[in-house]
Amino acid sequence: MKINIVQNIQTISFKAGKTVFLTDYDGTFKPKILKYPPKTYEEIANPYYAQFCSFQKQGDDIFDIYITTGRHQNAQKQSCIKILDDFKLLEKSNRPFIKGIIENNGGNFFDIRKQDGNDILVINSKYNKQREEFHLKKNKKNLGQKIKKDLDSMIEVKKAKKNNDLVIVAGDGNNDKSFLNIFTYIKLPKGMKIPQDIENAKKMLKNNDVKKQIDDLPLKILTVEGDITNDKYYKYLVETFPNKYKHVKQETKSNKNSLFNSIKECIENYKNENKYFKKSLNKKIFKKKLIKVGLIILPITVLMGTILSLYFYFIKNQKSLKQSPKVLV
């Protein structure tokens, strides 16, 4: 019996109009300015992350964030739990909701749970087993590239194709190469491997089916200023696929957020490419606005109703007093 592993993976659910953001942490989601902040960490980080948080609040199920890092959970210094410690320093209203953290360049997947009021990482054994099955299946095909961070992004792109969603991946380092290579996400022509250089990429692009597959991908790739942007092959990919790739500058000023601006631009562009994505996203945002308006109107309506009830009660009593017969003494 043939089992579709991708269809069976339920941990990261999709509905039309959702954007899933899979991002490296150090140097990407946590830009270098936050490693050596010119002010306190909180002064720079609060307004920076508030933009991601604010966008998530615009609608239910519209923007999921997953951090895929080279950090190990059990490391003494740069462990995954220290990522959660960074977010604890933020005001609660500015903390983006992180749905999961993936350690060691595509290693174990951790859910984020609450325990005694604090966020903790809990390994998701069921989902990791499914991911391992997918990993083995891909490895058997000998794609010419070690499956690392691209494991989860490949799974999400397959889902997004079926659900009219969008996947955005972002990274800045050499350990991000696998999920920043657009050829990772297509069905390769028989006998060919994922290109790792310009020459082989050009050969593959002579195939019109490859071009069409790339055009149809529900995927945007953000190469953040760092080692990756100095790589000639990735420079070539950015130049060759301007509709799929965006270059993101490292911030040097505390009031800038090129990463978030690039994400918003990618979403707006994809709305023009996929009408179902656009319709569903706009519907979710509009629904949220209606709920917010309702929350404002409801107490006002209740107050007005109370005032009117008191008014009519007063009028009724006044009429009753006037109609009552006078008592002669």
* pLDDT of amino acid 312: 62
* pLDDT of amino acid 76: 82
Contact 102, 69 (CB under 8 A): yes
H or E stretch covering 99: strand 98-102
Q: Cα–Cα distance between 95 and 89 in angstroms, integer?
A: 9
Strands 109-115, 98-102: pairing is antiparallel
Calculated CA dihedral for residues 128, 134, 136, 140, nearest 10 degrees: -170
Q: Which residues contact 310 (CB under 8 A, 6 or more apart)?
A: none
Assign 4 to helix, strand or coil.
Answer: coil
Contact 9, 130 (CB under 8 A): yes
Residue 12 token pair: 């990261």
Beta-bridge partners for 122: 111
Find where tokens 């706009």 sit.
282
Residue 220 token pair: 């945007």
Contact 281, 17 (CB under 8 A): yes
* pLDDT of amino acid 232: 97
The DSSP symbol for 173 reads S
Q: Which residues contact 42 (CB under 8 A, 6 or more apart)?
A: 89, 90
* pLDDT of amino acid 36: 86
Calculated CA dihedral for residues 67, 70, 72, 77, nearest 10 degrees: -100
> Which of 47, 32, 37, 51 lies closest to 263, judged by CA?
51
Report the predicted TM-score, pTM, of the whole model to 2 decimal places. Answer: 0.85
Q: Kindly give the residue spans of alpha helices, DSSP state H, lying in 110-197.
A: 125-140, 150-163, 177-180
pLDDT tens across the length of the chain (329 residues): 343 444 444 444 346 899 999 999 999 999 999 988 888 999 999 999 999 999 999 999 999 999 999 999 988 888 999 999 999 999 999 999 999 999 999 999 999 999 998 899 999 999 999 999 999 998 888 888 888 999 999 999 999 999 999 999 999 999 999 999 999 999 999 989 999 999 999 999 999 999 999 999 999 999 999 999 999 999 999 999 999 999 999 987 878 899 999 999 999 999 999 999 999 999 999 898 886 665 555 555 556 666 666 666 667 666 665 565 554 44
* pLDDT of amino acid 305: 61
* pLDDT of amino acid 14: 42
Residue 122 token pair: 């809990």
Query: Which own/partner contact pairs does 256-263 have at CB distance under 8 Å and 24+ positions apart?
Result: 257/48, 257/51, 259/28, 259/29, 259/31, 259/170, 259/222, 259/224, 260/51, 260/52, 260/55, 262/222, 263/19, 263/21, 263/168, 263/222
Q: Cα–Cα distance between 124 and 134 in angstroms, integer?
A: 15
CATH code of the region 12-284: 3.40.50.1000
Residue 61 token pair: 């199920």
Residue 42 token pair: 């909180």
Each residue's pLDDT tens digit, 126-185 = 999 999 999 999 888 888 888 899 999 999 999 999 999 999 999 999 999 999 999 999
Residue 111: Cβ within 10 Å count:
14
* pLDDT of amino acid 296: 58
Assign 66 to helix, strand or coil.
Answer: strand
* pLDDT of amino acid 254: 79
